[in-house]
Amino acid sequence: MTEKEYKERLNAFKNSCRVYKYEKKMLQEADMRKNGFGDDQLYSYMREDIGFVDGMFDTISAKCGVNARLMIWLLFVDENTQADVAYRFGLTRRQLQYSVNKWMHQVFEAEGRR
């Protein structure tokens, strides 16, 4: 995988993480009403996006461990700063940055082999 491909996949994952909580909440509300929210295509895309994020976090957990999953969740979904997450885990910001980069490369390479 080239660095350009890696960055594109990482940005797509980060973007999906950024809207994950909002999409999940919208889908839960639509499911409770039992009539969706009118746009079947949008509903389908949101469900697919949520599935993508959930699947990626399952892969992160399997390949890199639960601490990696938690750190990446805090960064990408909860949108904490690198400094905050690093402090919580007793790392420097640079150590965290290096680890996340390494983990995400492992995950994307594993996804590419499927």
| Single-letter amino acid code for the residue at 71 | M
Residue 81 confidence class, pLDDT cut points 50, 70, 90: very high
pTM given for the model? 0.88
Looking at residue 114, what is its pLDDT?
55
DSSP 94: H
Quote the tokens at residue 33.
């009403």
Q: To which H or E segment does residue 35 belong?
A: none
Judge whether residue 66 has pLDDT over 80: yes
What's the number of CA atoms in the CB half-sphere (13 Å) around residue 111? Answer: 19
pLDDT of residue 34: 63
Average pLDDT of the chain to the nearest whole number: 91
Instruction: Quick: pLDDT tens for 18-62.
Output: 999 999 998 888 777 766 666 778 888 999 999 999 999 999 999
